[in-house]
Amino acid sequence: MSKIIFVLNGPNLNLLGVREPHIYGSATLADVEAMCLAKAKALGFSIDFRQTNHEGVLIDWVQEARTAACALVLNPAGYGHTSIALLDALKSLTIPVIECHLSNPAAREAFRHSTYVALAATGLVSGFGAKSYELAIEAAATLSLKP
How many Å apart are CA 54 and CA 59, to the nearest integer? 9
Q: With beta carbons less than 8 A apart as the criterion, state whether 97 and 31 touch.
A: no
The answer to whether residue 24 is catalytic is: yes
Amino acid at 123: G
At 95, give phi and psi (nearest 5°).
-90, 160
Q: Give me the catalytic one of 24, 79, 116, 133.
A: 24
How many Å apart are CA 53 and CA 114, to the nearest integer? 21
Q: Give me the catalytic one of 54, 79, 101, 133.
A: 101
The answer to whether residue 81 is catalytic is: no
The sign of the torsion formed by the CA atoms of 108, 109, 111, 113 equals: positive
How many Å apart are CA 90 and CA 60, to the nearest integer? 11
Q: With beta carbons less than 8 A apart as the criterion, state whether 62 and 8 touch.
A: yes
Catalytic residues: 24, 101
